[in-house]
Amino acid sequence: MDGTEVAVRAVESVGPDAVALVLEAPATFEARPGQFVQVGATVGGEQVTRHYTLSSPDAEETFEVTVEVDPEGSLSPYLADLESGDTVAVAGPFGDAYYEGEDGVVVLAGGPGVGPAVGIGERALDENASATVVYEDDAPIHEERLTALADAGATVAITDDVSDENVLEVLADAQGQLFVYGFADFLDRATAALDAAGVDAGDAKTESFGPAPE
């Protein structure tokens, strides 16, 4: 792949089957929370590349991606087993669904979409903007950072159903730029929830992680 070899600085568990991978930022790398990179490595003799979204509030010197591990997958288990000092190839950043200094953010995240949700939420609070995070997962991750966001003044709703009535109330009250991140089936559920809450999803910044794994 076209890309830069960068060092792994840390691999930390952030919940069941999920790691935060901290990577050295390539020279002249300018990325915003919500953008994604292509990560490549040689696994079992074959070059494998996959996309991962920034989960850190910035990308100065280092940046972080959050990887949900699919035990049947090619790259995610390999990434979870890396250690500080190993290297991977990185290309990017890519994507235009990122935080651009808006006064308020409302991030809907499904599964590994919680990565950009925490990164954007933290960056927004750093810039004195308001932040609402709605996160759907059967086995939530990043609980420490979500709790810290709530303690710092963000509205955080964690649910196993984005169309739950309590979530719809949060969405109806929330103010700010909409962001939606997750696999395609979550994007459909999030759009339906916004519709049910009477929120216009027309200008939402959305990134699909592709078809949901089986």
Per CB under 6 A, residues contacting ligand FAD are 36, 50-53, 65-68, 70, 72-76, 112, 115, 207, 209-210, 213-214
Phi, psi of 31 (to 5 degrees): -130, 145
Torsion of CA 48, 51, 53, 55, to 10 degrees: -10
> Toward ligand FAD, which CB reaches closer, 26 or 116?
116
> Toward ligand FAD, which CB reaches closer, 189 or 196?
189
> Toward ligand FAD, which CB reaches closer, 32 or 197?
32
Q: How far is the CB of 100 from ligand FAD (least distance, A)?
A: 18
Q: How far is the CB of 207 from ligand FAD (least distance, A)?
A: 5
Residue 12: strand pairing partners: 20
CA distance 11 to 21: 5
> Toward ligand FAD, which CB reaches closer, 101 or 213?
213
Residue spans of beta strands (DSSP E) within 111-149: 130-136
Closest residue to ligand FAD, Cβ-based? 73
Residue position matching structure tokens 């609070």:
125
Query: Structure tokens of 46?
Result: 């074959």
Q: How far is the CB of 52 from ligand FAD (least distance, A)?
A: 4
